């Protein structure tokens, strides 16, 4: 095992309520708990998780809304701060690698890929073919590459022609000391207190990727056969479309979409079944959280992550993508059968302490060769 780095810099886009943001904030919190000096570098300091920045982190807001300006802004940070190692995630991977070239510094950069690049969009206005060429050129410049699932690693390498051996797979740090405590909190909404009516739960940003349109159609089939309610936690651009669809399906009185919530775990623990309806993912945190809560699980077998999390259907049902009837049947089966919760050993892969040690091994190996220099 390597020595731990004394300083770490984490770089990503914003603090919107997404999976990448939660992972990076969790890593920052864990690093600080281990008395590792931690910089958080953001394209823009904005979003639902602004108040969740761990105390003790030094925050650098680049104040950049356009991706094309990111490399120039980050290069100034790299030149002035000279971090001993930089960990970046998602679309900012390319920005970090370009910024290092502009800054002409030797800071080791570890990139982490959280999405299946063959289907995931980007936050860039560049055409896909230019973006893919840029990714093929920049990714090999990284000192180390991490993927959050085997599926993501395989997809990146297949799509971009990279060597699979160049990627290390480290699952996301999802389950921590407060996970089960948060799951025990009270939900005030009356639907969660009426044990005679099943509550189906979905969680995620209201965007096309999450497949909530398919979930609404599946729920319309379920509610014709039994008393049930559908709750979708999250906010996003698709809200008007989904609300109109619920009206058209005649189920709006049975659907509640309260928006973004800071603690979805308490809803998961009290739901009758948790459903992931996505068309693609990287490693869906919400599915892991729901599994930790012991909630019956139904998920699309989308690329990638669900199959790995559920171990081929061992811990929940996997159904085809964008198939409302198959999804409805999966929900019905989950509601009718008394499913056993996943064993603690199935959750070990996602425990924060285990995952963080893997990150520290990687970051420590790279930081050892770089002398610390503070401004």
The dihedral region occupied by 129, where left means phi > 0, alpha psi between -120 and 50, and beta the remainder, is alpha
Q: CATH number for the domain including 214?
A: 3.40.50.2000
Query: CA 203, CA 287: separation in Å to the nearest integer?
Result: 9
Query: CA 110, CA 146: separation in Å to the nearest integer?
Result: 7
Q: Are residues 116 and 232 in the same domain?
A: no
Q: Are residues 162 and 186 in the same domain?
A: no
pTM > 0.85: yes or no: yes
Give bridge partners of residue 147 from the DSSP assignment: 113, 169
Q: Are residues 86 and 234 in the same domain?
A: no
Phi and psi angles of residue 248, each rounded to the nearest 5 degrees, phi first: -65, -35
Q: Which residues contact 224 (CB under 8 A, 6 or more apart)?
A: none
Q: CB of 37 within 8 A of CB of 113?
A: no
Number of compact structural domains in the chain: 2
78-92 b/e with 16+ CB inside 10 Å = b? bbebbbbbbbbbbbb
Query: CA 31, CA 98: separation in Å to the nearest integer?
Result: 26
Domain assignment of residue 232, yes or no: yes
Q: Are residues 17 and 81 in the same domain?
A: yes
Quick one: DSSP state of residue 175?
B
In the chain, what is the greatest distance between 2 CA atoms, to the nearest angstrom?
66
Domain assignment of residue 372, yes or no: no
Quick one: DSSP state of residue 351?
B
Q: Are residues 70 and 126 in the same domain?
A: yes
Q: Are residues 49 and 11 in the same domain?
A: yes
Query: CA 189, CA 146: separation in Å to the nearest integer?
Result: 40
Phi and psi angles of residue 221, each rounded to the nearest 5 degrees, phi first: -75, -40
Quick one: DSSP state of residue 348?
G
Q: Are residues 20 and 152 in the same domain?
A: yes
Q: What is residue 127's predicted lDDT score, i.e. its pLDDT?
A: 66
Give bridge partners of residue 59 from the DSSP assignment: 40
Omega of the bond prior to 304 within 30 degrees of 0, cis?
A: yes
Per 3-state DSSP, what percentage of the chain is helix, strand, and coil (rounded to 5)?
Answer: 45, 15, 40
Q: CB of 21 within 8 A of CB of 54?
A: no
The residues of the chain scoring below 70 in pLDDT are 1-2, 120-128, 338, 369-375
284-323 b/e with 16+ CB inside 10 Å = b? bbbbbbbbbbebbbbbbbbbbbbbbbbeeeebbbbbebee
Quick one: DSSP state of residue 85?
-
What are 364's two structure tokens? 């420590």
Q: What is residue 268's predicted lDDT score, i.e. its pLDDT?
A: 97
Domain assignment of residue 62, yes or no: yes
Phi and psi angles of residue 162, each rounded to the nearest 5 degrees, phi first: -95, 160
Q: CB of 174 within 8 A of CB of 286?
A: no
Q: What is residue 113's predicted lDDT score, i.e. its pLDDT?
A: 94
Domain span including residue 300: 179-342
Q: Are residues 147 and 252 in the same domain?
A: no
């Amino acid at each position: 095992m390597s020595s731990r780095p004394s300083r770490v810099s984490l770089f990503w886009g914003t603090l919107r309520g997404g999976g990448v943001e939660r992972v990076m904030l969790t890593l920052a919190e864990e690093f600080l708990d281990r008395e590792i000096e931690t910089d958080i570098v953001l394209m823009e300091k904005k979003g639902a998780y602004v108040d969740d920045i761990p105390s003790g982190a030094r925050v650098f807001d680049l104040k950049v809304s356009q991706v094309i300006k990111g490399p120039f802004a980050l290069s100034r940070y790299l030149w002035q701060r000279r971090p001993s190692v930089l960990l970046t995630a998602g679309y900012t991977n390319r920005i970090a690698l370009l910024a290092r070239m502009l800054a002409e510094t030797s800071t080791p950069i570890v990139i982490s890929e959280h999405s299946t690049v063959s289907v995931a969009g980007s936050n860039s206005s560049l055409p896909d073919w230019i973006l893919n060429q840029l990714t093929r050129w920049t990714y090999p410049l990284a000192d180390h590459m991490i993927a959050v699932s085997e599926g993501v690693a395989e997809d990146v390498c297949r799509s971009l022609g990279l060597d699979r051996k160049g990627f290390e797979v480290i699952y996301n740090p999802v389950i921590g000391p407060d996970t089960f405590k948060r799951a025990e909190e009270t939900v005030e909404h009356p639907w969660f207190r009426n044990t005679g009516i099943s509550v189906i739960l979905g969680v995620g940003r209201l965007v096309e990727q999450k497949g909530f349109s398919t979930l609404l159609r599946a729920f319309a089939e379920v509610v014709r056969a039994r008393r049930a309610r559908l709750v979708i936690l999250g906010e996003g651009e698709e809200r008007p479309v989904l609300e109109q669809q619920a009206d058209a399906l005649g189920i709006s009185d049975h659907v509640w979409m309260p928006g973004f919530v800071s603690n979805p775990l308490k809803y998961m623990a009290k739901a009758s079944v948790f459903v992931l309806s996505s068309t693609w993912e990287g490693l869906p945190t919400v599915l892991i959280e729901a599994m930790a809560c012991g909630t019956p699980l139904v998920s699309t077998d989308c690329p990638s992550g669900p199959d790995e999390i559920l171990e081929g259907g061992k811990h929940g049902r996997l159904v085809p993508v964008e198939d409302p009837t198959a999804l409805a049947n999966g929900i019905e089966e989950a509601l009718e059968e008394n499913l056993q919760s996943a064993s603690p050993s199935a959750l070990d892969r996602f425990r924060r302490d285990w995952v963080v040690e893997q990150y520290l091994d990687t970051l420590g190996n790279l930081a050892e060769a770089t002398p610390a220099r503070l401004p």
